[in-house]
Amino acid sequence: DRTIDLAVISGDGIGPEVVAQGLKVLTAVLPQDVKLETHEYDLGAKRWHATGETLTDAELEKLKGHDAILLGAIGDPGVPSGVLERGLLLKLRFAFDHFVNLRPSKLFPNTSSPLAGRPEIDFVVVREGTEGPYVGNGGTIRKGTPHEVANEVSVNTAYGVERVVRDAYARAQARPARKLTLVHKNNVLVHAGHLWKDTFDRVGREFPEVSTDYLHVDAATIFLVTDPARFDVIVTDNLFGDIITDLAAAVSGGIGLAASGNINPTREFPSMFEPVHGSAPDIAGSGKADPTATVLSVALLLRHLGFEAEAARVDEAVTADLAERGETARTTDEIGEALAARVAG
């Protein structure tokens, strides 16, 4: 019998509510002979308020032992900006070398899009997860004085860029449209831009069947609202990826449906799956949170662990559920139950 040893970071606000539904669907879809073991880690804003701790070295070490991590959402307005981001979320992404931050965008049936005419949307963004402006290599001098200077350094390495670009080509190669778009700003950020573009062109010669395209990040935001159907796979740096995936989520049904995987393709460390949305303290406890993004993140988790058929069943359940849902609003629990029933059926 196989076992999935899953670390769970339910977190704050709606985090625990959506994670409960994600686990319900995961349990329902797994084959009989696969055992699911979950280990909850008490991390996030509540923990920080109580202890001042974000993530201890001991916890980081323990997390390493799991097959994967499911994260709900962390943060509340009482925590100073950056504390949990740098001390927990980004710490995990960096420590576990999550260099592929995978964010699919799909306009599901019956979802509301702000775009007129509901264009076809079905693409995936491969966002670099361990470099760029996110490395935290910045600093401030003369803080709080009229002579303060605050710098942020974006670090980009051949090693880091090549591995994520290669991953993106492989994903593009495996999709019907076989198209990969590099998004950067190489006319201004010329050093990083050269490295990205040169790597993109060089690795591309190994994937002659994948057609390629380059867009500046500003132009990419235009196409995301005027012609999102043009995208198949996008590869981009950490910060540009952060920005365009929120926009991509907004045009394809909203952040309540956006899943993500922080993936270490080498499997040296556990990968982490999380909805793109935050902890939404304003609706926590009201049953209004949509667990669909978490359930779709569970599908990414299943796929990463080799349960391709089960992942597909979860994706299909979400599509069918959205296609057939009625007019009445459903609670977090009702949506989770409906999806669990579909994948079990």
The footprint of ligand IPM (CB under 6 A) covers 85, 89-90, 187-188, 218, 242, 276
Does 93 show up as a binding residue in the annotation? yes
Q: How far, in Å, are 88, 145, 266, 326 from residue 239 at the CA level?
A: 18, 28, 23, 38
Which listed residue (1, 57, 58, 147) binds its own copies by CB under 8 A? 147
**242 labelled catalytic:** yes
Give the shortest CB-130-to-ligand IPM separation in angstroms. Answer: 12
220: annotated binding-site residue?
no
With contacts defined by CB under 8 A, name the span among 120-128, 144-152, 262-270, 319-327 that binds its own copies: 144-152
> Which listed residue (24, 167, 169, 185) is catalytic?
185
Closer residue to ligand IPM in complex, CB, 30/272: 272
Q: Check residue 92 for interaction with its own copies (CB under 8 A).
A: no
Comparing CB distances to ligand IPM, the nearer of 304 and 342 is 304
Q: Which residue is catalytic, options 76, 242, 315, 321? A: 242
Please identify, among the stretches 1-9, 14-22, 26-34, 151-159, the one whose residues bind its own copies according to the rule CB under 8 A. 151-159
DSSP state string for 167-231: HHHHHHHTSSS-EEEEEE-TTTSHHHHHHHHHHHHHHHTT-TTSEEEEEEHHHHHHHHHH-GGG-
Is 167 noted as a catalytic residue in this protein? no
Under rule CB under 8 A, residue 115 binds its own copies: yes
- Closest by Cα among 118, 90, 117 to 106: 118
Q: Are 183 and 215 in contact (CB under 8 A)?
A: yes
208 binds, among ligand IPM, its own copies, none (CB under 5 to 8 A by kind): none
Identify which range of 152-160, 205-213, 289-297, 328-336 contacts its own copies by CB under 8 A: 152-160
Is 287 part of any known ligand binding site? yes
Active site residue 169: no
Cα–Cα distance list, 63 to 58, 68, 241, 340 (Å): 9, 9, 26, 27
Cα 209 to the center of its chain, rounded Å = 27
Contact 59, 43 (CB under 8 A): yes
At 57, phi and psi to the nearest 5? Answer: -60, -35
Please indicate if the annotation marks 103 as binding a ligand.
yes
Q: Which residues pair with 123 in a beta bridge?
A: 105
Q: Which residue type, as a one-letter code, is found at position 8?
A: V
Those residues whose C-beta lies under 8 Å from the C-beta of residue 195, and which sit 6 or more positions away, are 156, 158, 161
Smallest separation (angstroms) from its own copies to the CB of 65:
28
Cβ atoms of 99 and 264 within 8 Å: the answer is yes
Residues 168 and 102: their CA atoms lie apart, in Å, by 10
Closest CB 90 distance from ligand IPM, rounded Å: 6
Residue 328 as a binder of its own copies (CB under 8 A): the answer is no
Annotated binding site for NAD(+): 278-290
The set of catalytic residues is: 134, 185, 218, 242, 246
Residues at the site binding its own copies, with contacts judged by CB under 8 A: 81-82, 85-86, 90, 113-117, 133-134, 136, 138-140, 142-159, 162, 185-195, 197-198, 217-219, 221-222, 224-226, 239, 242-247, 249-251, 254-255
Annotated binding site for Mg(2+): 218, 242, 246
